[in-house]
A and B are shown apart, each in its own frame.
Chain A
Amino acid sequence: MTPTLQIFLIVSSALFCIGLLAALSRRHAIFILIGIEMMLAAANLNFIAFWRFSPEPHQPTGVMVAIFSIAIAAAEAAVGLALVISVYRHYRTTNVDQFDQLKG
């Protein structure tokens, strides 16, 4: 028996929720970025799975969306990590609970 679409969606939603867990419960800025990357990757897996199981897989729409999504995730990671380094220079910490300069 080959895997059905449902099982791929279950795996990708598990990956999404692990990313959500990392983004919500860790207090380290780099962990939050890792969680966001994982959520984006789960969305990519969904795109590829839906493309593969669609009635006409010879049109590479899902593949194209996944490629663009990977490129945008790379840009997001570069800017996010630059922000982490820049904030670390000012506060000498990467704990997001201590970035409270703008708190009202």
Chain B
Amino acid sequence: MSAAFVIISILTLAAALAAATLPKLMHAALSFAVAFVGLAAFFFLLGAEFVGLVQIFVYIGAVAVLIVFTILLTRRDVEKDRGFNWSGVVVAIAVFGGLIWAIFKTQSLSVAAPGMSVLTVKHIGEVLMTGYVWPLLCVGLLLTAALVGALILVMEEKR
């Protein structure tokens, strides 16, 4: 097994676990960003460089910053201690066991990667503008609607 894979998976899973369990919200948000850097490294490792870059731009550039801003805007409430629901841990471990069982039971999954040519951004752009143009338009509409909806949600109400 390659060393890069081991390092990236340990980094990603440790950062994700920290994001899920750290008591301070700001620390959790920053380890969330680290976990997504690790995930982007996975995408690079798998040969999907464009998706890795999109992941870095969208998650670290936009979503993590948005989360940090929300934490700062709701700060008065952040410091209070919260209960931790242990039944969630039981459910998560049970789901993990089920998934691991299913993965190891399926024999056809233990394949090595086939050799491949590089997937260029040019090719992705061509496919996006020909075969996937209808989903692309729908996603554009969805993003516009979601951002307008988010603006309306946080606007001050007129009394």
Q: Report yes or no: A79 in contact with B149, Cβ–Cβ below 8 A.
A: yes
List of B residues within 8 angstroms of A8 by Cβ: 42, 46
Any B CB within 8 A of the CB of A3: yes
Q: How many of chain A's residues have a CB under 8 angstroms from any CB in B?
A: 75
Question: Which of B9, B67, B89, B95 contacts A11 (CB under 8 A)?
Answer: B9
Any B CB within 8 A of the CB of A103: no
Q: Report yes or no: A64 in contact with B74, Cβ–Cβ below 8 A.
A: no
**Which partner residue on chain A sits nearest B97 by CB separation?**
A17
List of A residues within 8 angstroms of B46 by Cβ: 8, 48-49, 51-52
Distance of A92 Cα from B78 Cα, bound (Å) = 11
List of A residues within 8 angstroms of B25 by Cβ: 28, 30-31
Pull 22 A–B residue pairs with CB atoms less than 8 Å apart, ordered by A.
A2-B113, A4-B110, A10-B100, A11-B12, A15-B16, A18-B13, A25-B86, A30-B25, A34-B28, A41-B55, A48-B51, A55-B114, A57-B116, A64-B128, A70-B51, A74-B62, A77-B66, A78-B146, A81-B70, A82-B149, A84-B70, A94-B77
Interfacial residues, chain A to chain B (CB-CB below 8 A): 1-11, 13-28, 30-31, 33-35, 37-38, 41, 44-45, 48-49, 51-55, 57-58, 60, 62-64, 66-68, 70-79, 81-86, 88, 92-95, 97
Interfacial residues, chain B to chain A (CB-CB below 8 A): 1-2, 5, 9, 12-13, 16-17, 19-21, 25, 28-29, 32, 35-36, 39, 42-43, 46-48, 50-51, 54-55, 58-59, 62-63, 66-67, 69-71, 73-74, 76-78, 80, 82-89, 91-93, 95-96, 99-100, 103-104, 109-114, 116-117, 119, 123-124, 127-128, 132, 135, 139, 142-143, 146-147, 149-151, 153-154
